Structure 1
Amino acid sequence: MKKILKDIQKHLLSGVSFMMPVVVAGGVILAISLLGAEQTAKGLVPTNPIMIYLNQLGKAGMTMMIPVFAAYIAYSAAGKPGLTPGFILGYIANSVIMVNGVEVKSGFLGALLLGLLAGYMVNWMKGWKIAKNKTLRSIMPILIMPIFTVLVLGLAYYFIIAIPISALVTWLTNVMTELNGGSKTIFAIFMGIFAEIDFGGPMTKTISMFTLSMINEGVMEPNGIFRVLVAVPPLGIFLASLIAKNKFTEEERDNAKAVGIIGALGITEGAIPFAIKDPKAVYPASIIGCITAALIAAYGNVTCPVPHGGFIVLPVVGNKIWFVVAILAGAAVMAILLKILKKDVVESVA
């Protein structure tokens, strides 16, 4: 059992290592495209033709992040034959599909599961005893393995994995609607726990939809809290890399700088590789940091009328000082906890 868990961790770290440059490239370019963007009902929209193109370029990188993650998990488990099913299944996990009339998107959690399953299925197929026919052997990795794996796991995703996720999303939306009318403290704690628990994934998107729906009702506070939280995990990781250098490798410290920049501009996904690599430290630190930020934002009556977050929306938020204080306090708490929870790293000497 320990060997299986160790192998799974190895495959996940492989996916993370290949995904990280995509996250950084896409996130930084996307953040640059939003500088000087115009505030509209749909959020920050670039108006300059070059910035519009950079926006598309950055979004392409962020969209590719999840398929790359799944593909290289499968690659780690099964080698090159795992890449094709990994890319396709990772793409579908990051796409909206209709299941029984319900829109479902599983994001990086679905991609993680499908990438592992694809890798192990391809590895299993590589052990098939086939006839000693060179032609048959040559088409296995380019025809039989990818088609069979994508069909089997694609259908399993549709009929088994996607349906529970849709039920979870419906439950979460109902719970949040009820909490918004109740205790401000309970609501803020709930937001702190769940709003960024998957760092920009389907649960985050669900909560974002809820806060935006409240804007249409003239209630800006839930969106204000949410737009604070999107910046906390990446900035917390960045601050931790400064105050606890012995807890991060040199490569991680370099990556944390880019993650901090895109986090300040409202992009959370850069925290995903760090969370996957060290979930025991990052998840509790992120949750407590986000709870701290959410409580400050709630009692500071922070409001935000646009569907974007981070410091880039500061000109349009209500109670700007508390908005900034909430982000910095949440990130600081997360950084301190990471310093306590993370283990020292020992970098190999070449």
Structure 2
Amino acid sequence: MSKAKDELKQIQRALLTGVSYMMPFVVVGGLLLAISLSTGKSTSEGFVVSNQFMQNLKTLGNSAFTMMIPVLGGYIAYSIAGRPGLVPGMVLGYLANNPIGEIGAKSGFLGAMLLAIASGYLVKWIKTWKVHKAIKAIMPILIIPIVSTLSLGLIYIYFISVPLASMTNALVEFLGNLNGTNTILLAICIGFMNAFDMGGPVTKTVSMFTLALMNEGIYEPNGMFRITVAIPPIGIFLSTILFRNKWTDADRTAAASAGLMGCMGITEGAIPFVVADIKRVLPCTMIGAAVGAIIGGLSGVTSPVPHGGFITLPVVHNKPMFALGIIGGSLVTALLLGLVKKPLGQPKNVE
């Protein structure tokens, strides 16, 4: 039991290491995207920025976001296995956060975390191999990166991405059966699913579902969904204000950026906080997102654009309830985080 606890503590330290290296990418990407989107306008294709300079800022912001998950994966593996873990962690983190082949399956930050942990332990094991002295010199720069990246990458592509695609199709069908029959249950599913992986296959499923209905002239599910994308980062930001004794100065600084991103409809600012304390933060964001979706669903909020947050307020129907959904869900998240998070200085039990 003691050994298992030690391993869990090592994984927890690795996750925190990954978060600390990822955080600057989130802040830079989020701020640049928020600035560029703040001057744009809503169209049927999404938001169009106002000029080429703002487009360049958006490109820079997207570049930082592209690096975010690979950096997370790389430094999780690095914390477990040392420098040889960087390459497989980063490559597999990138792989997890991008569509695979024609089926387009991706697992987002949750998949990147799992692949990074697997990379770390695989590399750690390979480092124990007894090899000839001539080969030992090239182990960390050639053998270990190739073996670990190739083996785990092919396992992911051939055995994990296919079930992910099947799950995506099943979830779309499930949501389709709920639409029009039970607004509250549909809202809960949309809220839970969007906040669960923040850009992974589950969120992608909801987005596909709402966009498909928009093509048929049904905008209510998209209204619910576009409320929920803003809630996790804004809720975390509000919690750092309301419960200052439960967050570090670094948390509060990062949360301010995340809150601004949430207003712009960018959920990813919440990811570092979820990774750092997944068992507390993730349920709170899921519940808050569900509350926001319920408010939007019961009040008939609709949105005609594939984007969310306060930045889309000019184009949504029933603007007051759209805003109330974001604010209400964010407050629920903030209050729940205040209840479950321990004050600074108290030890966190590793279960």
TM-score (normalizing by structure 2): 0.95
Matched-pair contact (CA < 8 Å) for 1:305–1:316: yes
Matched-pair contact (CA < 8 Å) for 1:290–1:330: yes
SS of residue matched to 2:104: strand
The root-mean-square deviation of aligned C-alpha atoms, in Å, is 1.4
Q: Deviations over 1:169-225 (max 9, x none)?
A: 111111011111211111112212212211232211221121111111001111111
Q: Deviations over 1:42-61 (max 9, x none)?
A: 10011401011111111111
Residue 281 in structure 1 maps to residue 280 in structure 2: yes
Note the C-alpha offset of 1:337: 0.8
Note the C-alpha offset of 1:12: 1.1
* 1:72 corresponds to which of 55, 72, 75: 75
Q: Distance in 2 between matches of 1:327 and 1:23?
A: 21
After TM superposition, the structure 1 = structure 2 runs for residues 224-263 of structure 1, keeping only pairs within 5 Å, are 224-263=223-262
After TM superposition, the structure 1 = structure 2 runs for residues 167-316 of structure 1, keeping only pairs within 5 Å, are 167-316=166-315
Q: Paired residue for 2:132?
A: 131
Note the C-alpha offset of 1:38: 2.6
Matched-pair contact (CA < 8 Å) for 1:221–1:302: yes
After TM superposition, the structure 1 = structure 2 runs for residues 42-61 of structure 1, keeping only pairs within 5 Å, are 42-61=45-64
Report the AA paired with residue 118 of structure 1.
Answer: S
Task: Give the percent of matched residue pairs that are identical in Structure 1 and Structure 2.
Answer: 50
Note the C-alpha offset of 1:347: 9.1
Q: Distance in 2 between matches of 1:289 and 1:206?
A: 19
Q: Paired residue for 2:116?
A: 115
SS of residue matched to 1:103: coil
Matched-pair contact (CA < 8 Å) for 1:70–1:90: yes
Q: Distance in 2 between matches of 1:230 and 1:221?
A: 15
Q: Paired residue for 1:324?
A: 323
Q: How many residues align?
A: 344
Q: Paired residue for 1:8?
A: 11
SS of residue matched to 2:158: helix
Q: Distance in 2 between matches of 1:171 and 1:15?
A: 32
Q: Distance in 2 between matches of 1:38 and 1:321?
A: 20
Q: Deviations over 1:126-161 (max 9, x none)?
A: 11111233xx22211111111111111111111222
Matched-pair contact (CA < 8 Å) for 1:191–1:226: yes
Q: Distance in 1 between matches of 2:74 and 2:242?
A: 34
Report the AA paired with residue 7 of structure 1.
Answer: Q
Matched-pair contact (CA < 8 Å) for 1:249–1:347: no
Matched-pair contact (CA < 8 Å) for 1:74–1:83: yes
TM-score (normalizing by structure 1): 0.95
**Which consecutive segments of 4 or more residues in structure 1 shift more than 3 A?**
none
Q: Deviations over 1:219-246 (max 9, x none)?
A: 1111111110011111100000001111
Note the C-alpha offset of 1:162: 1.5
Note the C-alpha offset of 1:40: 2.0
Q: Distance in 2 between matches of 1:72 and 1:246?
A: 28
